[in-house]
Amino acid sequence: MRKRFVLLFAIAALAAAQTPPQGQPAQSLKGVVRLNKAPVSNSVLAVKLPRAVERKLANGAKLLVVESHRVPTITFRMTIPSGDLRDPEGLPGVATATAALIQLGTKTRSAKDIADAAADLGATVAINVGAENGFVAVSALTENFDAALAILTDELLNPTFPQDELDKWKTRQRAAIEQSKSQPGSLANERLMKVLYPGDARRFTRPTVESLGKITRDDLIAHYKKYYVPSGEWAGIAGDITPQQAVAKLDKALGEWKGGPMERAALPLPAPIAEKKVYLIPRPNSVQTMLFVANLAIDRTSPDYIPCMVLNQVLGAGPSSRLFRNIREEKGYTYGIGSFFSASHTLNYFGANTSVRTEVTEPALAELLKEFGDIRDRAVPAGELDDAKSAIVASFVLGLERSGSVLGSWMTQREYGFPEDYWDTYAAKVSAVTADDIQRVAKKYIPLGNVQIIAVGDASKIGELLKKFGPVEEAPPDAN
């Protein structure tokens, strides 16, 4: 079998500083005892991400190709300018409804015909929208890819937006809204977005009962005409296909699809909220409290992005992080806990979340905030910092197994206009982050005096104690 990746045993500064030699005395790290007896390799297996080939499509879209013949499948995806942020004010759900309905009827196929055709091919043909962008995607076995792509073509060029399908879709959405009110994660997330982005479309994570009553077929058609355009968008294809085949197939299938380019949906990136606040979402009969602790932070293009990634690795990314070691492993308050930066063009927040039994809500929240304070106030010790950087750099190879994930990395680089060598120099940039850098970004982005706390649980048991963490506002599920 052919080797696909250039391997380098990069020993550089990072690796040299990395692991303690064997036989050192046991060291303690909160929640972990290190005996340092297991044999570890001190080198970091550095890899160069295989380059994507760039081409232009006849419809004006830009195409990236990652060829890989490991398995006989092909995955195609492409951005479209649709997205929740394009919803007219007061009508959340138009973009979501358009994406759903475009797959539920064309001039020659009913909704069932479309579902049957995709199922016959064992293919995934999907159109989805997120906040900023929409995606069209086709994934199939190599021999079924052309026919699967033809279904997408039909949906994009000949949608009919049947009224009866829209009515049925609304029925299902109403049930989904009702069901989401029983789920702590949905309740917390919906409230969080309202807290962080109260003034624009970002505050909605789904259509509302009210907007479902108002959305019409004409809204969908208008949205489709304006935002389902290819020119200027990024497309990517990965798997069992050459760049030449890819261009030929996509031009044949999508050459007639015209329009664009469309300007990016721009929204202001708000600064962190200044005042501490607690939002209590009563969920009767809960035996746990779900906690979401957050505030606004950085977008994806921020120069602080990489130091923030290292900071988060130390604080809350996975089982080797402080939050997990302390609050799960040492205290036993939870089954899982983590933190993250949600950073894109229009999302810019930091958050940590966990579910803890009702009785330990107070100490768990206090301990979580203590960890926030600690990483702001004290420099991360050298060994722990090296381990965090190593976790990020050395895990790079795991992403090489799937061509789709390699493509994803290049789509990110292009999407944000990062330099061509962005991934080649990523490891070096991570390695260069210092304890001072982490402390600087921690003070800036890890909320403490201005923390926003969302708590979903039994209000009769946690209502009082939450007051110790800030002014409490009750936010019932049905107000979401």
Partner 1 sequence: MKPFVAVLLAATGMAFAQQAPSKLPPVKFTDTTLDNGLRVIIAEDHFAPVYGIAVSYKVGSRDERQGRTGFAHLFEHMMFKGSENVGPGEHFYLVFTKGGSMNGTTNNDRTVYFEVMPKNQLDLGLFMEADRMHSLAITKDNLENQRQAVKEERRLGVDNQPYGQTFEKMDELVYDNFAYHHSVIGSMADLDAASVADVQQFFKTYYAPNNAVLALAGDLDTKETLAKVKKYFGAIPRQEAPKPVDLSEPEKKEERRYKIDDKLARVPRIDMAYRIPAVTDADGVALSVATSILGGGQSSRLYQKLVKEKEVAVQVFCGVDGRAGPSKFQVIALVRPGKNPQDVENLITEEIAKLNAEPVTDRELQRARTGIRRGMVTSRESALNTAITLADDTALFNDPNRINTASEKRLAVTAADIQKAAQKYLRTANRVVVVSIPAGAPPAAPPPAPKLEK
Report 298-357 residues binding partner 1 (CB under 8 A): 318-320, 325, 328-330, 332-336, 355-357
Taking each continuous run of H as one helix and of E as one strand, the counts in the chain are 17, 16
Give the span between the Cα atoms of 341 and 338, in whole angstroms: 11
Kindly identify the residues of this chain, within the stretch 28-87, that bind partner 1 according to CB under 8 A: 29, 31-35, 37-41, 43-45, 47, 70-73
Q: C-beta of 68: minimal distance to partner 1 in Å? A: 9
Stretch that binds partner 1, among 113-121, 300-308, 370-378, 441-449 (CB under 8 A): 113-121
Q: C-beta of 124: minimal distance to partner 1 in Å? A: 9
Pair 61, 233: CB distance under 8 Å: yes
Q: C-beta of 174: minimal distance to partner 1 in Å? A: 6
CB closer to partner 1, 145 vs 227: 145
Peptide bond between residue 261 and the one before it cis (omega within 30 degrees of 0): yes
Q: Report how far apart the first and last C-alpha atoms of the chain are (Å, whole number).
A: 55
16: contact with partner 1 by CB under 8 A = no
Give the span between the Cα atoms of 155 and 204, in whole angstroms: 27
Which residues, listed in sequence order, are joined to residue 292 by a DSSP beta bridge?
353, 454
Q: Which of 443, 331, 329, 425 is nearest to 380 (CA)?
A: 443
Kindly identify the residues of this chain, within the stretch 193-232, that bind partner 1 according to CB under 8 A: 209-210, 212-213
Here's the x/- map for partner 1, 176-195, by CB under 8 A: it reads as x-xx-xxxx-----------
CB closer to partner 1, 264 vs 402: 402
CB closer to partner 1, 116 vs 377: 116
Pair 94, 216: CB distance under 8 Å: no
Q: Which of 374, 427, 406 is nearest to 51 (CA)?
A: 406
Four-CA torsion 375, 381, 384, 385, nearest 10 degrees: 80
- The one-letter amino acid code at 27 reads Q
Stretch that binds partner 1, among 188-196, 279-287, 370-378, 442-450 (CB under 8 A): 279-287
Kindly identify the residues of this chain, within the stretch 355-414, that bind partner 1 according to CB under 8 A: 355-357, 387-388, 390-391, 393-398, 400-402
CB closer to partner 1, 285 vs 449: 285
CB closer to partner 1, 85 vs 101: 101
Kindly identify the residues of this chain, within the stretch 129-148, that bind partner 1 according to CB under 8 A: 140-144, 146-147
Which residues, at least 6 apart from 363, have a Cβ–Cβ distance to it below 8 Å?
331, 333
Q: Which residue has the tokens 């988060």?
A: 312
Q: C-beta of 47: minimal distance to partner 1 in Å? A: 7
Scanning 121-208, the segments in alpha helix (DSSP H) are 145-157, 163-180, 184-196
CB closer to partner 1, 133 vs 403: 403
Q: C-beta of 44: minimal distance to partner 1 in Å? A: 7
Q: C-beta of 367: minimal distance to partner 1 in Å? A: 14
Which residues, listed in sequence order, are joined to residue 139 by a DSSP beta bridge?
75, 124
Contact residue for partner 1 among 10, 137, 150, 222 (CB under 8 A):
150
